[in-house]
Amino acid sequence: MGGAVSAGEDNDELIDNLKEAQYIRTELVEQAFRAIDRADYYLEEFKDNAYKDLAWKHGNIHLSAPCIYSEVMEALDLQPGLSFLNLGSGTGYLSSMVGLILGPFGVNHGVELHSDVIEYAKQKLDFFIKTSDSFDKFEFCEPSFVTGNCLEISPDCTQYDRVYCGAGVQKEHEDYMKNLLKVGGILVMPLEEKLTKITRTGPSAWETKKILAVSFAPLIQPNHADSGKSRLVHLPPVAVRSLQDLARIAIRGTIKKIIHQETMRNGNGLKNPPRFKRRRVRRRRMETIVFLDKEVFASRISSPSDDNNNSEDIEEERHEEEETKPSELKPDPPVNFLREKVLSLPLPDPLKYYLLYYREK
């Protein structure tokens, strides 16, 4: 699946292309996509393909195409504080983007069939939390992943505001999926070769909307051949935050507000202007076609000024390359103002590090 938009050179250009093609339509979704580099979820040897609008699969590891993820994110209509269940959570890429929108008081759970993929997702989540400056720009709802078949979720589990299934759902499992939703909730899943949005409008009332044609591998059916018994999947309990953690969230939020006010006061509140890449036009030699009687000869007719013009063109191209080099250099990484502000506070170092979640960067 994928290929709906052209490839980008980096994550931002990929997002620009998704916006231009109207796959990303809201600011919240755009911010989440820009905050997490898709390439970070690829194995090193496959990163060259990270910014193409294509799905990627290696063994049990799988990522859907960016155009699919953006349609899913838009259809879920995510808001801070909601609960989210990701069935077939895979690498955790989608769950992490969702967590940036849900904020500290949301619920973010994932069920994944393969234990090796769960370990991969946890590594990627740990890398994001420890190294990404985006972590400090958002209040993050950290995803929790459990191993199991999503068709064997315990019947006494809580219902969710938003549910996404990343594998093809057979018609016979449609009601099972619907029952995972709270009233007012939204379920997005591939159903009968269509990405489908289902809104629960009442205890037994539903609204269904087909979003786009897709092709997903079907859900793997439970296998009870070994024990003959179902292996129920128990989702994580909804954790109550400690007073200490609530204090950290409040302090970080206050510091962010102060930084924003200072930025606006200094006139730096505007967003960074879009980056335009200058394209150099290459000059090509023109060939002259000469007709003599009934025969045709293709040749280049030289003139005394050709050699001079050619050297002038080369010199001009070299000059243009020198001009464009500074703009093509990678800009300095943006300053993490929250980190700088916390480190400048007159507080004991252990408290500073606690406010920064003991992050390495």
Verify whether residue 64 is a known catalytic residue. Answer: yes
- Separation between Cα atoms, residue 222 and residue 255, nearest integer Å: 49
Name the amino acid, one letter, at 300.
R
Query: Do 150 and 113 meet the contact criterion of CB atoms below 8 Å apart?
Result: yes
Q: What does the block give as tokens for 307?
A: 């050699």
**Within a 13 Å sphere around the CA of 181, how many CA atoms are in the beta-carbon half?**
28
Three-state secondary structure call for residue 61? strand
| Alpha-helical segments (H) within the chain | 11-20, 27-35, 66-76, 93-102, 115-131, 134-137, 174-178, 243-265, 306-328, 337-344, 349-355
Tell the residue number behind the tokens 């052209």, with chain if given: 6
- Separation between Cα atoms, residue 318 and residue 323, nearest integer Å: 9
- Separation between Cα atoms, residue 93 and residue 38, nearest integer Å: 8
| Active-site residue identified among 6, 64, 299, 303 | 64
Helix (H) or strand (E) holding 347: none
- Separation between Cα atoms, residue 33 and residue 27, nearest integer Å: 10
Tell me the Cα Rg of the chain: 27
Active-site residue list: 64
